[in-house]
Structure 1
Amino acid sequence: MILMPGKSYRGTLPPLTRHEEEVSDRLRQDVEAIAGAGEHNYIYYDNLLKTEAYLESRLTQAGYTVQRQEYLIGDRQFTNLEVEIPGEALGEEIIVIGAHYDSVVGSPGANDNGSGAAAVLALADYFAPTHPQKTLRFVEFVNEEPPFSWTPDMGSWVYAKRSRERNEKIVAMLSLETMGYYSDTPGSQTYPLGLLNNIYPITGNFIAFVGNFASGGLVRQVVKAFRTHTLFPSEGSILPNTVPGAGWSDHWSFWQEGYPGIMVTDTAMFRYPYYHSQEDTPAMVNYNHLARVVSGLEAVIMNLANID
């Protein structure tokens, strides 16, 4: 459950590379575009459509042909957005990198989950010119937040069900969820189970990789690749599905269909003081730290997709 390859980075963070500086600037622009207008969800449906249009435009600008998975809830249409880089030697094996773009009712959703949605865009930008051995898919999911969480109307479950119906071979799913808040204050990090306080750091300055037992191999592979290439604190955890928080994102949908999936997160409510509030604004996101994490995920995806 807790033993992970490599060691979490400790110490002063190095200066951003030029690439990370560019990623940081782009992440800021995207989060501000996603969350700057306020709530975007089934209540603020027009704003949700504006966010959808922005994401589709960004992916198109990166050179992709966007596939729209549309479905109805009542008389309203909701849409998952997907772009793909076909794999070469191992093209039947699919890696999904996804995040939800809706905000919870009552919040503009900058960190939850503008940070994740923007990270998907940044990774799609980075990998657009590459030639992976395995197929890469970048997906922006709708309707992760209540009242759709853990229901058949959750966008990622709609997507995962279709993948299963098509007999697609998804070998890894990375759910990018609430990734942009970090604190160097001791005691800033809490956990859903008291026992974990004695195992993991109590300072919320790390990125977490969380999976269930069936996804344990994927957690370890991802943590190893991240720690090998990235000077940023990281923790990995393999938890039962029933632990509060372990399945609180789109990777849960893939678990339901028998696919391995993990969540990449700053741990959300267990660290972020503005979780699901009106104060979850773009100003609360640490874009430099988020850029370091995105840079580390570039190395992770290169490892997963067999890119030299």
Structure 2
Amino acid sequence: MPDRSYRGQLQPLRPEEIALKNALQQDVKKLAVEIGMRNYDRYAQLNSAKDFLATSLTQVGYEVKQQEYKISRESYFNLEVERKGTKKPDEIILVGGHYDSVFGSPGANDNGTGAAATLELARLFSNKSHSRTIRFVEFTNEEPPFFWTENMGSLVYAKGLRDRNENVIAMLSLETMGYFSEVEGSQKYPFPIGLLYPSQGNFIGFIGNLGSGSLVRKAIASFRHHAQFPSEGAALPDWIPGVGWSDHWAFWQQGYQGIMVTDTAPFRYTHYHTKQDTLDKIDFEKLARIVSGLAGVISDLAE
């Protein structure tokens, strides 16, 4: 990967990062505490999460497009907003995260953090213009039983892109982003990846398949330029456990480059897919640093 991961003391948050931290905390609280478990088995709560995200996006001036599809006569929705590019509007940078939670979990980190990060990034870009189009999507039904099936929200969405021949040149999947540890041995890896990476779970990861290797390198180089926060990147065969465990997988199936931005989920976060995945586990100060850095990444990709 280009450049080096940041090491050393984290600098105090800037005023705009403090505001971002507070907004992220309020968003995740809404999703994981006030709404709680949200999925096919908690259909009303899933729709409450959808309505919260749609209303929040509308309030900052976006026209929210709701992609509806049905499973067993129930409707499910992906939410899409965008800022049209000024010079290359047909080239799309797409940023997304899923807003559903796994059965039995309030889903604060997985994936309240990714859904909230997508929302706050959309807010940050609501009045900005770039050469390429920037699109933000909140996906439904990433979790089982729909994971890696035709009813996975992001796969439904990505197939629509391909059917319309839309030119997505980069997809960033924001997935389980808020848990960090300085403890030695807190970070695990699928064999043999751990031989090359840190044993402390204090970094944010940029993960792609081999076909998305150039995007991984561009994204992490940009992040390391914009953010003073530890980061690690990898372009790996997609058969390695964890490499395709989020919505970027759906875009690979349609021939698009996609990467996952993540704290590595079950390889670090012991509360993954449990009822203990709660608000208090998330380090919102660090999450704000990451989201701020990702704003720089998106801007760079969009130019």
Deviation at 1:71, TM superposition (A): 0.3
Instruction: Detail structure 1 runs of 4+ shifted over 4 Å in the superposition.
Output: none
Distance in 2, Cα, partners of 1:208 & 1:221: 14
Match of 2:198 in 1: 201
Deviation at 1:283, TM superposition (A): 1.3
Deviation at 1:87, TM superposition (A): 0.5
Match of 2:179 among 178, 181, 186: 181
Match of 1:250 among 244, 247, 250: 247
Distance in 1, Cα, partners of 2:88 & 2:36: 42
Distance in 1, Cα, partners of 2:269 & 2:15: 28
The residue type paired with residue 198 of structure 1 is L
Match of 2:72 among 71, 74, 78: 74
Structure 1 spans left out of the alignment, 5+ residues = none
Deviation at 1:88, TM superposition (A): 1.0
The residue type paired with residue 286 of structure 1 is D
Match of 1:10 in 2: 7
Distance in 2, Cα, partners of 1:130 & 1:229: 18
Match of 2:118 among 108, 117, 120: 120
Distance in 2, Cα, partners of 1:237 & 1:280: 26
Match of 2:59 among 52, 57, 61: 61
Match of 1:266 among 263, 268, 273: 263
Distance in 2, Cα, partners of 1:108 & 1:136: 30
Match of 2:147 among 146, 149, 167: 149
The residue type paired with residue 150 of structure 2 is P
Deviation at 1:38, TM superposition (A): 1.9
The residue type paired with residue 29 of structure 1 is Q
Matches within 5 A, 1:230-249: 230-249=227-246
The residue type paired with residue 12 of structure 2 is P
Distance in 2, Cα, partners of 1:132 & 1:111: 30
Return 169-178 or 32-41, whichever deviates more. Answer: 32-41
Distance in 2, Cα, partners of 1:294 & 1:182: 15
Matches within 5 A, 1:17-32: 17-32=14-29
TM-score, normalization: structure 1? 0.97
The residue type paired with residue 17 of structure 2 is E
Matches within 5 A, 1:26-65: 26-36=23-33, 37-65=35-63
Distance in 1, Cα, partners of 2:38 & 2:122: 22
Distance in 2, Cα, partners of 1:196 & 1:75: 43
Match of 2:295 in 1: 298
Deviation at 1:162, TM superposition (A): 0.3
Counting matched residue pairs gives: 302
Distance in 2, Cα, partners of 1:49 & 1:126: 25
Identity %: 55
Structure 2 spans left out of the alignment, 5+ residues = none
The residue type paired with residue 186 of structure 1 is E
Deviation at 1:132, TM superposition (A): 1.0
Distance in 1, Cα, partners of 2:165 & 2:119: 27
Deviation at 1:274, TM superposition (A): 0.6
Deviation at 1:229, TM superposition (A): 1.4
Secondary structure at 1:48's aligned position in 2?
A: helix
TM-score, normalization: structure 2? 0.99
Secondary structure at 1:175's aligned position in 2?
A: strand
Residues 75-120 of structure 1: CA distance to partner in whole angstroms, max 9, x if unpaired? 1000000001110111110011000000000100000000000000
Residues 149-196 of structure 1: CA distance to partner in whole angstroms, max 9, x if unpaired? 000100000000000000000000000000000011111000011x22
